[in-house]
Amino acid sequence: MSRGDLLSIHPLELKFPFALRKQISCSLQLSNKTDNYVAFKVKTTNPKKYCVRPNAGVVLPRSTSDVIVTMQAQKEAPPDMNCRDKFLLQSVKVNDGITAKDITSELFNKEAGHVVEECKLKVVYLSPPQPPSPVHEGSEEGSSPRGLVSDNGHVNAAEFSTAAKAFNEQLEAQDLSPETRTHITKLTEEKKSALQQCNKIRHELELLKREGNKSSGGVSFMFVIIIGLLGIFMGYMMKKS
């Protein structure tokens, strides 16, 4: 905020979240610290690039006014996101009752004896926000428990134990009654036991499946052998006859 005698200006840097091919606006707040009417005018080193509304006006005694600065859509980003554009805000005490229509360039002419305050404003480009980094499943509190299951469908008991331990530590940190903590701990242990039993059943099913495949392969092989022997026998009998 500026420390001028007439106006307090906030902010002193015009910050634009830069984005290509998009108009971006920011605001200035002008506060009249006096009991007099104060006229202001806003200038820029790059008038084709920015639109200022209003670019001139009057701030009533002990009141505030807002100025909107809009940067036109840009086709390319500046090197290193540095901007050399500048703004100059001039303010001068004027007669009571003056309006924006009465403001002329002569009011801000120092050579004419007017006491003009000036405040230089910088332009700052803000880089666009980066997308959030991906979070692995099961790494955050309250995330899906699918992160505890491997690709082949087995439950990782070690990871579940780690998660259960962390969950118990969180319970201890919370203001819960002993009965509630005991009940939750019991449910956690029951869930762990159920998961281990599930792994055991899944393993037994896989063993049965493998034995069934072997048995199926054996029957097919024996069938081929029997057919072959029958063929040899029939051929022998035909030759004998």
pTM over cut 0.85: no
CB 202 within 8 A of CB 154: yes
Among the listed residues 89, 104, 102, 81, the one whose alpha carbon sits nearest the alpha carbon of residue 31: 89
Give me the mean pLDDT over the 120-135 stretch. Answer: 80
Give me the mean pLDDT over the 202-220 stretch. Answer: 65
- Report the run of H or E that residue 201 belongs to, with start and end: helix 178-240
Q: Residues 46-90: pLDDT tens digits?
A: 999 999 999 999 999 999 999 999 999 999 988 888 999 999 999
CB 27 within 8 A of CB 68: yes
Q: Residues 157-206: pLDDT tens digits?
A: 566 567 666 666 665 555 556 777 677 777 777 777 777 777 777 777 77
